[in-house]
Structure 1
Amino acid sequence: MDFNDIFKFIKQPKVFEPGTSNFWHDSYISKNMLEAHLNPDWDAASRKPKTIDKTVAWINDNFLQDYSTILDLGCGPGLYAERLARLGYHVTGIDFSKRSIEYAKESDRKQELNIEYIYQNYLEIDYDEKFDVAILIYCDFGVLSNEDRAVLLQKVYKALKPGGFFIFDVFTEDFKKDKIIEKNWYTSQKDFWGNENHIVLSEVFHYPEEKVFLDQNIVLLDSNRFDVYRSYNHYYSEDDLTHLLDEHRYRNHHFFYGIIGDNNFISNSVVFTVTQK
């Protein structure tokens, strides 16, 4: 291994510059991601069941009267989709993790909830006024680059029926107080990143002008290869969101705090945004 190749990635990259590898396409890491989604004691990949129950109840009580069709973007293994389907809604779930979609489909077959699950990048959806409500939960909106965010807003707008709601959550500007700028390294025989001897170089970068944090993990698997995983988190003010949604023709924006309550997610500084086509 040429260490100069690694040094290229250790320095702070341009904001939203991708890594070399993707969580969802690695068979070992995607298995660990699914386990994290399903672990009822973690907020690590999905929020805990009681928090999901609370969120679904809030959406149902406030925004789903007179509506029936829901698009669940980044649905994972179907934790929100199943709860919404049990309430009688017609749900379509989209996710880029093949393992999560396969699990969701099998769970749906057992429960006969008739959810439509699709293995797809939600930036590639092409619906035309099909859904009453679209949801994107667990701060996925903030992981998108500015370009991908614009694509998503356009796709969702097109997919919603007139008057339909788009509901999503993001980190607030208080996220800066919760996030720790640090770097470290460790060795492991088996952990989230690999099931053989490896070294992990981890670092957090901040882009204050862009209001973005980056969690970077460089995984050295052997003397000849390494993978670079990058997870970006964009935090927002209400003014930021208002300007962005106005720009993409959404209207009637409302912001809600305290929906998820206390949890051991990386931050409780979360705002739910509800906007309309």
Structure 2
Amino acid sequence: MQYAQKPELYATGTIQLWEDPHIAKGMLEAHLAPDNDAASRNHQFIDRSVKWLSTLSPVEAAPKVIDFGCGPGMYTSRLAKLGYEVTGVDISENSINYAKEDAVSNNLHINYRNESYLELKDEGLYDWAILIYCDYSVLSPEQRQTLLENIKRALKPGGKLIFDVFTPYQYEPLKESHSWYAENASGFYKDGPHLCLFSHFLYEDDVYLDQYVIIDEMDQVDVIRVWDRSFTVARLQQEIESAGLKLSAYYSNVAGDLYNEASKSLCFVVEKW
């Protein structure tokens, strides 16, 4: 069956996960669930993360921050409450609309922009930037290069980028697999009855793909592909330095926990030369 065949590396699907209106509603609910690590990390972790980030870049010394892939504002709203001048960029119109409404209701002055961070043209505006919950890992090598160029251009001299990725330990037990389920009503990926064919594929260089083939009652077929890759410290450092950025420190996560060899995630703090 064609849908069980392994796609070419970084082949795109027919639907982009963050842009489909129905899926976007479910993604927003997942972001906002306080104890859920599905779309954003749980709120307790986010609180701890923001506290740590504010010690790395104190508001008195580094007031201007941009959140790449801000979603509905889980980090931006907390940073704004601490006095930072915050910009949030996200490709999801649904998430940005929620974030704007939340900012107004809480009297927070946050610059939210519904655009792709791969197209950002800001120059020398920010003291620091964040890219959180392993967004970097889902991009192709060409997209990662573009993103790093955009971030470097947007930062002031000496500005910092704090971001996280998964390590190989996150995916160590996984093997290639195929499964399916039938949804009799509305589901996460489709409004109305549908069949979902799921495949998990492994590629060289620690690249992974979760593929969802959605077939509805009218035999319309949609393909959703979620790419990911894991990084070691050495591999990520090489990629960062190739982009003209300097590694300052690394941790197990964006809450500042000390790194160890068995960590499933990796947080880099890098600086613009």
Contact kept in structure 1, 2:126 and 2:154, CA below 8 Å: yes
Please give the per-residue CA displacement for 1:78-118, whole angstroms capped at 9, x wherever unaligned: 00000000110000000000000000000001111100000
Q: What corresponds to 2:108 in structure 1?
A: 113
Normalising by structure 2, report the TM-score: 0.93
Q: Is the 8 A contact 2:198 2:213 kept in 1?
A: yes
The size of the alignment, in residue pairs, is 266
Query: Alpha-carbon deviation of 1:24?
Result: 2.2
Structure 2 counterpart of 1:175: 170
Equivalent of residue 47 in structure 1, options 41, 44, 49: 41
Tell me whether 1:124 sits opposite 2:116 in the alignment. no
| Partner AA of 1:146 in structure 2 | P
CA positional deviation for 1:178: 4.7
What residue is the counterpart of 2:191 in the other structure? 195
CA positional deviation for 1:56 = 0.8
Q: Is 2:41 the counterpart of 1:36?
A: no
- 1:24 is aligned to 2:18: yes
Tell me the secondary structure at the aligned position of residue 79 of structure 1.
coil
Q: Which runs of 5+ in 1 are unaligned?
A: 1-6
Name the CA shift for 1:94/1:106 in 2 (closer, same or farther; >3 Å).
same
CA distance in 1, matches of 2:170, 2:64: 33
Q: CA deviation at 1:152?
A: 0.2
Structure 1 residue corresponding to 2:229, chosen from 234, 241, 254: 234
- The match for 1:156 among 138, 151, 172 is 151
Matching residue of 1:211: 206
2:246 to 230, 247, 251: 251
2:65 maps to what in 1? 70
Give the C-alpha shift of residue 174 in structure 1. Answer: 1.3
Partner of 1:3: none
**What corresponds to 2:81 in structure 1?**
86
Q: Is the 8 A contact 1:51 1:261 kept in 2?
A: no
After TM superposition, the runs of 4+ consecutive aligned structure 1 residues lying more than 2 A away are 7-10, 62-65, 178-182, 258-262
TM-score normalized with structure 1 length: 0.91
| Aligned position for 1:13 | 7
Please tell me the residue identity of whatever aligns with 1:196: G
Structure 1 contact 261–268 (Cα < 8 Å) conserved: no
Please, which of 210, 219, 223 is the counterpart of residue 224 of structure 1? 219
Amino acid at match of 2:154: A
Q: Which amino acid aligns with 2:68?
A: L
- Structure 1 residue 223, shift from structure 2 partner: 3.5
Helix, strand or coil: the match of 1:192?
coil
| Compared CA separation, residues 260 and 200, structure 1 to 2 (3 A) | farther
Quick one: structure 1 residues 115 and 144, their matched pair in 2 at CA, closer, same or farther if it must change by over 3 Å?
Answer: same
Distance 1:155 1:261, change over 3 A: closer
How many Å separate the matches in 1 of 2:173 and 2:128? 31
Cα deviation, 1:240-270, whole Å, max 9, x if unaligned, reads 11111111110133210155599xxxx9711
RMSD value, Cα:
1.8
Q: Deviations over 1:10-43 (max 9, x none)?
A: 2111111111111222221111110111111211
Question: Percent identity at matched positions?
Answer: 38
My pick for the range that moved more, 217-226 or 151-160, is 217-226
